[in-house]
Structure 1
């Protein structure tokens, strides 16, 4: 059985697919193992002005095989909370990868 490509994910357009590939996510299994929030965090830090909360909704919806508008309200609220945490980290300048 072959892994599902991100090309096959519902609600993920060509621009987001390309960006996901840039951060090493090429299959549904890659997205599952990374998780929607971490994938969004990577995208947001890579392109802070071009990646919006809608991308996080789309990533989570793709994992659930539904349209982002059909995500339960509690899931959307949790994603919004995570988005605020990521935005705050971005404003602070993120975290360095190593101690100097």
Structure 2
């Protein structure tokens, strides 16, 4: 059974699974729900917990919303423990709050002209 035809698995999730080498229900069953979820996460994708529940539902042949609450809690705990063991992202600065600076429109044209007034930036014609 291909990843695109698995129960609960939509096109985006199927693409993620294919890209990490999980192409069938048997592939997912072989490594387990949490490890399949973590493979997707380690590949750089940003899966939500819905993928975790969808994978479990696919393995149990039920709708992802029918996964029992106790099992969901187990899955989330296992996924959180695995996520905690991941190394921090490489070569990326820590996310910081985004701020927007607004300039007074009356000074904007003068500032733009000033940027191009410097004769030192142009090569000499001599």
CA distance in 1, matches of 2:63, 2:21: 24
TM-score by length of 1: 0.80
Deviations 1:34-91 (A, max 9, x none): 211111011111125x21111111111111111111011110010110121122122x
What stretches of structure 2 of length at least 5 have no aligned partner?
Answer: 90-126
**Over aligned residue pairs, what C-alpha RMSD do you find?**
1.6
TM-score by length of 2: 0.65
Residue 54 (structure 1) aligns with? 50
Matches within 5 A, 1:44-83: 44-47=41-44, 50-83=46-79
What stretches of structure 1 of length at least 5 have no aligned partner?
Answer: 95-100
Aligned length: 89
Deviations 1:4-39 (A, max 9, x none): 222221110011101101111111111111211111
Q: Which runs of 4+ in 1 moved over 6 A?
A: none
Residue 33 (structure 2) aligns with? 36
